[in-house]
Amino acid sequence: MSSKTALVTGATGLLGRQVVRAFERGKWNVKGTGYSRADGVSVLKVDLVNAEQLTAALDDVKPQVVVHCAANRFPDKCDKDPEGTRALNVEATRRLASLCAARGILLIYISTDYVFPGKPGDAPYEADAKPQPTNLYGQTKLDGEYVVLEEYQKAGKAGLGVVLRVPVLYGDAEVPAESAVNILLDNVWKAQESVSKIKMDHWALRYPTNDISVKYLGSDDKSKLPSILQFSSEDKCTKYEICQRFGEIMGLSIAGIEPNTEGNDPNASVQRPYDCHLSTKALKDLGIDVSTQDFTGWWRWNVKAFRK
């Protein structure tokens, strides 16, 4: 069997690190790209908006598969830097897709549940449901989907460009701010000493998902497979309910955290969806295991809060 090689963009991030580990468990040769945290050995320093650096990385690694995890993925930061966000989330994605399509490389583009409006009563969203992002982050990720599929279509390699949508993630974070879930545990600790109550969203539903593995690589005829896939857990909760779970796990009071059931401030620049739950039907139809780690169980293990 020939050597299998994968390249993972954003390999120093929360999701990218897990994707690299998934390839390593599958005995792949795997390289990552990063920027500020790249070590230049297992993670190559590549500015994804630089066409020459991107081309050099692909020609050096010669991967059969590229998983594109890199993105500006924080909605508030996206709003503050729309030009930079589009440069990374859309234009760099287009360039990567064009280069990969020309080389016959399978590209798995990691997208988000925020491509959907998340109106009450709409979820779960099937892969072919109409996207309608409520903020710039969601819009740029949707535009990224379009350019990936478009570039592969133009190159006559439509089956090799794949979109994989995932929801909010948690996992082994280097700093809590890497994940919108991990940082909630930080808030629970801060609430122990805070004089004033911390307001926490108790309106929008989230489906935190751990350890995404790449399993869409086995078919010889990829043109018959769906171009858009979705992965999610079924474990729904608001941010406040996640804080409640953390309090129970750690034996900490969350009296200093106040549930906010008001939803979006209509005057806020970033509008967040209520419920963007993704249907995993397309993956199930392919016979791919969509089971996920139990949220409470994983966090008990992670913080070593074992119960006898």
Catalytically active residues are 137
- Gap between the Cα atoms of 236 and 198, Å rounded: 22
The token pair at 268 is: 């806020």
- Gap between the Cα atoms of 160 and 153, Å rounded: 9
- Gap between the Cα atoms of 198 and 193, Å rounded: 11
CB 266 within 8 A of CB 134: no
Using alpha carbons only, give the angle 291, 297, 302 rounded to the nearest 5 degrees. Answer: 110
- Across-strand partners of 200? 259
First-to-last C-alpha distance (Å) of the chain: 47
Q: Distance of alpha carbon 86 from its chain centroid, rounded? A: 17
In the three-class reduction of DSSP (H, G, I as helix; E, B as strand; rest coil), residue 73 is classed as coil
- Gap between the Cα atoms of 66 and 157, Å rounded: 15
- Gap between the Cα atoms of 13 and 55, Å rounded: 22
- Alpha helices (H) along 28-126: 51-61, 75-80, 82-86, 92-102
CB 125 within 8 A of CB 178: no
